[in-house]
């Protein structure tokens, strides 16, 4: 039933599902997955009927939000058109009335427009998260005719630094993920990874023992959140199975934003530098933090539940970065297979901290992945899969 509801909402948004060409209407499945902020594999699982109820609920909610956003945008455009008509009528009317009456009409008109615009903006903010600007945007993203020196390879260099040159450009977090945070006096503190805005560039110098064109540097701007379980539920056994050393289905189905039991404590903004080593059959990632800070802090919550945000930033999250990520398979041995909006690189990781006190007796697994959004160079590369 949930699968049928999900497919019906997708067809309402994009058009009829054509399984032969893997499209809804004219929209490819990879682009639909990007719209829904899920991975291609998750979308496949949803369409095949193998997803959990929680995954279907979240996916249906995301489609509904996209539909509502379109409706809001259409209403906004209609209001703009009517506003222009009213403005023309007002100008004509102003020319025939006294100054006093004209000023009253202008004030009234502006007040109506202001209220309408405020309501529309508030609704759009609720339906679609704002986009943060990458701290290095001015260095990476200026127009081609601007007076700046791009950090990306130029056209004369791309073949010499293949396959790394194919990975250069803009990447994002392929899937949101959540983690329990040990090291606090009581359980129930969680870390929610919301987004990552990443710029990737080839390294021209740090190629010792790897080879030219095999080292990729990533500059990663992350926006994450800290949440509190107001019931302070112990992690195990509800959310973590100590036998399998993995999370339960209940944990994966947690939706902090739509569960009143959970409240957001703060937004965390972080900056990372990543180093990726690209081999024919595998990719290795090592990350190093460059600082983080908290914003939008709910001081009432931290006082009520005795949450030390600075301790979380410096000690808990500081230790969390000491992760062990497994080498991942290189699915793009031929770098020409990399595709904007579809290609992902995903790493299975485990983190441990010195002040582990949730009774797990080991590390906490999670998956961190990146999705290619925009390539700097996408013409044919000659290095192939050697």
Residue 383 falls within a domain, yes or no?
no
In this prediction, residues 222-238 reach a mean pLDDT of 92
pLDDT of residue 186: 84
Do both 115 and 204 map to the same domain? no
Do both 88 and 221 map to the same domain? no
pLDDT of residue 94: 62
Range of the domain at 115: 2-127
Q: How would residue 123 be classed by pLDDT, with cut points 50, 70 and 90?
A: very low
Residue 233 falls within a domain, yes or no?
yes
pLDDT digits (tens, 9 = 90+) for 298-322: 999 999 999 888 888 887 787 665 6
pLDDT of residue 130: 40
Residue 140 falls within a domain, yes or no?
no
% pLDDT > 70, the chain: 81
In this prediction, residues 273-297 reach a mean pLDDT of 91
Can you spell out the DSSP letters for 186-199?
SS-EEEEEEEEEEE
Do both 16 and 90 map to the same domain? yes
- CB 173 within 8 Å of CB 193: yes
Do both 177 and 324 map to the same domain? yes
pLDDT digits (tens, 9 = 90+) for 21-68: 778 888 888 888 888 877 777 788 788 888 787 777 888 888 888 888
- Torsion 354-355-359-360 (CA) sign: negative
Do both 165 and 119 map to the same domain? no
Do both 52 and 193 map to the same domain? no
pLDDT of residue 345: 96
pLDDT digits (tens, 9 = 90+) for 188-214: 999 999 999 999 999 988 776 778 899
Do both 312 and 362 map to the same domain? yes
Cis before 53 (ω within 30): no
In this prediction, residues 223-237 reach a mean pLDDT of 92
């Amino acid at each position: 039933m949930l699968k049928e509801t999900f497919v019906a909402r997708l067809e309402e948004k994009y058009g009829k599902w054509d399984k032969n060409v893997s499209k809804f209407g004219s929209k490819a499945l990879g682009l639909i997955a990007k719209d829904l902020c899920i991975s291609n594999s998750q979308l496949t699982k949803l369409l095949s009927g193998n997803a959990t109820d929680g995954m279907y609920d979240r996916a249906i909610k995301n489609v509904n939000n996209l539909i509502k956003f379109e409706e809001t945008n259409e209403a906004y455009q209609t209001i703009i058109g009517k506003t222009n008509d009213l403005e023309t009528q007002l100008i004509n009317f102003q020319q025939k009335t006294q100054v006093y009456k004209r000023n009253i009409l202008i004030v009234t008109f502006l007040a109506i427009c202001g209220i309408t615009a405020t309501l529309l903006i508030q609704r759009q903010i609720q339906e679609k998260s704002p986009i943060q600007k990458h701290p290095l945007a001015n260095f990476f993203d200026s127009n081609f005719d601007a007076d700046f020196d791009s950090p990306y390879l130029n056209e004369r260099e791309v073949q010499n630094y293949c396959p790394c040159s194919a990975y250069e450009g803009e990447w994002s977090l392929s899937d949101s993920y959540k983690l329990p945070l040990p090291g606090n006096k009581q359980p129930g503190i969680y870390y929610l990874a919301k987004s990552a805005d990443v710029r990737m560039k080839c390294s021209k110098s740090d190629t010792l023992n790897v080879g030219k064109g095999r080292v990729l540097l990533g500059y990663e701007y992350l926006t994450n959140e800290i949440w509190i379980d107001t019931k302070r539920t112990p992690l195990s056994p509800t959310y973590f199975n100590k036998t399998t050393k993995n999370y339960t289905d209940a944990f994966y189905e947690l939706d902090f934003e739509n569960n009143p039991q959970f409240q957001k404590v703060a937004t965390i903004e972080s900056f990372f530098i990543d180093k990726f080593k690209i081999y024919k059959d595998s990719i290795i990632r090592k990350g190093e933090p460059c600082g983080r800070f908290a914003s939008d802090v709910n001081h009432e919550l931290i006082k009520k539940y005795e949450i030390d945000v600075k301790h979380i930033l410096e000690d808990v999250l500081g230790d969390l970065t000491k992760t062990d990520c497994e080498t991942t398979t290189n699915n793009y041995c031929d770098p020409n297979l990399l595709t904007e909006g579809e290609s992902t690189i995903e790493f299975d990781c485990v983190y441990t901290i010195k002040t582990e006190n949730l009774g797990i007796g080991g590390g906490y697994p999670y998956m961190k992945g990146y999705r290619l959004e925009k390539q700097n160079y996408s013409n044919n590369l000659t290095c192939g899969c050697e």
